[in-house]
Chain A
Amino acid sequence: MVSQILFIVITLAAIALFSYNLKKVIRNIRLGRAANRSDQPQKRMMTMLKVAFGQTKMFFRPIPAFLHLIVYAGFVIINIEVLEIMIDGIFGTHRIFGGLGTLYNILIGSFEFLALGVWLACAIFLIRRNVLKLKRFSGVEMKSWPRSDANYILITEILLMTAFLTMNAADAKLQAMGLGHYTAAGAFPVSQFLQNLLPDTAAGLIAIERGCWWFHIIGIFAFLNYLPYSKHFHIIFAFPNTYFSNLEPKGEFTNMESVTNEVKAMLDPSFTPPEAAPGRFGAKDVNDLTWVNLMNAYTCTECGRCTSVCPANITGKLLSPRKIMMDTRDRMEEVGKNGLEDGKSLIDTYITREEIWACTSCNACTQACPINIDPLSIITELRRYAVMEESQSPASINTMLGNIENNGAPWKYSPSDRFNWAKES
């Protein structure tokens, strides 16, 4: 009875804490400007199913995709096991689904294989990060926290899977002893090999079984509450992020409506623009970006696929699309805590001018992102701010803009010479 009450208290506390942190995240995302992403619901749903649920874009790199798929499948399917743990925890039962018989054996058996798969995949991931030191996992933006964040997650998953398998091994031994509470249920194709490592006394086995059971479920709760502080948030946000992702051609940039009204008024004096609150052109800080940009930042799992294909980054320039997303998230967290008036801004304090001017807008980053994050639109908004609000662009860009304005071409040629190509050789 005591353990049931304790379990319920821990569960409620974990859920309450998670809701509290999730609310803070949603509040931060709401710092952003409006953006309409409610069109074409069917196409959006298909995109989400394909990209997030089906992980189609992951397979551009088959090895990590395969390992990730195991971890992902493990995560999704083992939730059925977590459901049983929850029910057992609340009602003090043991393996409540055990009555399913053969089906239960198949379920538990497959969970065991998955758990082993997840264990191995995470071990390989750890080796890739820390021993093989893949280039993709380094870079100026990969400072101490982002590095350890990834390691903490992988180690936690390994520990959780170890606990799950050890628990099953102890349970199977207890079942074989015919102890009252431990009714025979489940098949243990993997954990049977751990049985010899465990003690033979009932008391020792019960201690291990209960210990692992509690460790497993508290671990899961702790993991849940770790998410809002971690890149691992993508396990939740990947779904809304792909649903609300850009469906237009990648080459298409938004036409700023406030500018359209002003330009129309300039070209046609009879046009009266609709009343609108004066807004900023482009983005100086996170509140000038859209909520989609900000949700993107919380979704980013820092895998670095964007940066590894970025032509500017490949050739040694300062720009890293991954850093753009991480900076946006860091700044958003800061603004969420301290407000906007702290003398800092996304541009300059976090993202330098050199970075934004190195972008070729080639869309390699948006193509590479497995969950449709769009760093390019943030870069564009920062450029818009630099150019339209501050008139600060590289000198040669200014010349180009001046030429377009005066000659209708980015180069200094006379408009009257525009058709000369047809006449000369």
Chain B
Amino acid sequence: MRIGVFVCECGTNIAATVSTGKVVDAALSMRDVLHAESIQYTCSDPGQRAVIDAIQKKGLTRVVIASCSPRMHENTFRRTVGRAGLNAYMMEMVNIREHCSWIHSDIDEATDKAIDLMQKGVARVRRQVPLHSTTVPVTKRVLVVGGGVAGIQAALDIADAGLPVTLVERGPSIGGNMARLDKTFPTLDCSSCILTPRMVEAAQHENIELMVSSEVEQVRGYIGNFDVDIRRKATCVDAEKCTGCMICQEKCPGKAPDEFNAGVGQSKAISIPFPQAVPLVAALRKEHCRLFIKGKCSVCKKVCPADAIDYEQEDRIETEKFGAIVVATGYELFDWRESYPDYGGGQYPDVVTALQYERMLSASGPNGGHVQRPSDGKEPKNVVFISCVGSRDESVGRPLCCSVGCMYIAKQAILTKEHIPDSQSYVFYIDIRAGGKGYEEFTRRAQRDFGAIYLRGRVGKIYPSNGNLVVMGTDTLSAEQVEIDADLVVLATGFAAAEGAGELARKLNISYDQYEFFSESHPKLRPVETTTGGVFLAGACQGPKDIPDTVAQASASAAKVIGLLSRGELETSPMVAAVNQMRCTGCFKCRDVCPYGAIEAVELRDGREVANVIDSLCQGCGVCNVACPPAVISLKGYTDGQLIAETMELLR
């Protein structure tokens, strides 16, 4: 056995805390270690060449590389040893950076630990055997979850590449939050004017199947081959027959909250959420329908000219196969009411969220674009905007920046002046975060050309007085307290993850942060991938972001999906479970616990039934190893022998 050990200095990342020379000396004193050296940057081209040279000149058969996390460079070094003519799996990576140099400061202790880790790696690689990967065919169909601008963009990009896409949306129409916006910063483009054509395109695209009022119920399988159960929720309307005439909505006597208009105004129990909805199909909400509450009504059924109403409709579950999944579930606004009693906690009708104000400004909104304040319908003259409500606030558990509040407040201040020329806007801000292209100029315009008065400080309290609201704030630039008599107060509430985001993440087996925003695989280098292969992220479900960033990320996700599915088959990891069938008792506990359905029963020639691992399905999770009573299943590359050898080496 000829083992080579390569100790990476990683510049000073490792060498500053670990004496790499001592690690090399320790390696050379080990049995079978014929070669050891330290290399300044092992992942660099000359570094890799040094590894290849040593393997070829000294005829090494096994290699230990002590460097960074395998998450970073395992593939790099597998390819390196592969190029040197060894089996790619005859390399063991030891993490002496994240697990050692970065977290310790004492050089002697860190060096000792690095030596321990290196020795453990040698012990393990000694028992390694060559492994060979297999391939599995991929399903060339894509699931996009969420029909906002991110989902629409990703679906269109993927569909344009010729792959069939299923776009699943929880609500009755695609369009998401962007469809609710009046204008977009910094160009003041009409939001629906730029979004509606994309919505229609998605609906009409030959490669896109729209599933509205639908949710992902369960996800099984793995990259390239997912089986997804989709719940098609009962809307009591036959989508094939409905013509979108809206007669049912006109005649319906059942009032319901208007979610599309963020609670400004009211809707009906059966409705089409907004005039540009795609598909233009009504949906009935049973919880507000008189027929379902009181047992008597069915007005909509009587008036429907298309006979599209079907009260008997029930939820259906459809199971479909997909090769990749794009998650684009977006965001919702942070519910500020409980956290901010100082701002009235929702008790003052004239304290509204920016999304509610957006609907008040919109021509498709409840007042047709005439701004009327909720309490008395009066046109407001003094409008106060408060930024960072539920953002940058540790006291309510939301220290994050919403990244768009500064911009949308500037936009709304401009729109306020356009709607009500004799109005005055006041903007309480803490820092103006306007990093995007043209953003800084836009916030300056709001002040210079539209007369918005910017006050640097946070508002402490709002209280009603004589039918108006008094806003108590600070201008930290003059270090004075400020009081403003306001007709309307608009809160720039921060972003929260969409309702049920955590639940969906668990179904998809992807990770999420404490705010339930989904985690990308690497913040810089893998920004659209998740830690689960074949599942990609787009838009605000990953973290607060504006429309340009959302669209960019959606297209990036699409590119990843197209790249993945452009191959006919995927190479699987050879680190899969294997059963020692001679000793298998056939209890099939392994089959019960396997999350991938990768274990089948086979009959041996002597008639015994034993477990067999289907290599192409096994994901190497190791659950079966633990469950097996006689311990006859092991994971290739992580055999009991290897793990015990590692442990024994550490304990020696």
Report if A and B associate in a common complex: no
Residues of B within 8 A of A (CB): none
Residues of A within 8 A of B (CB): none
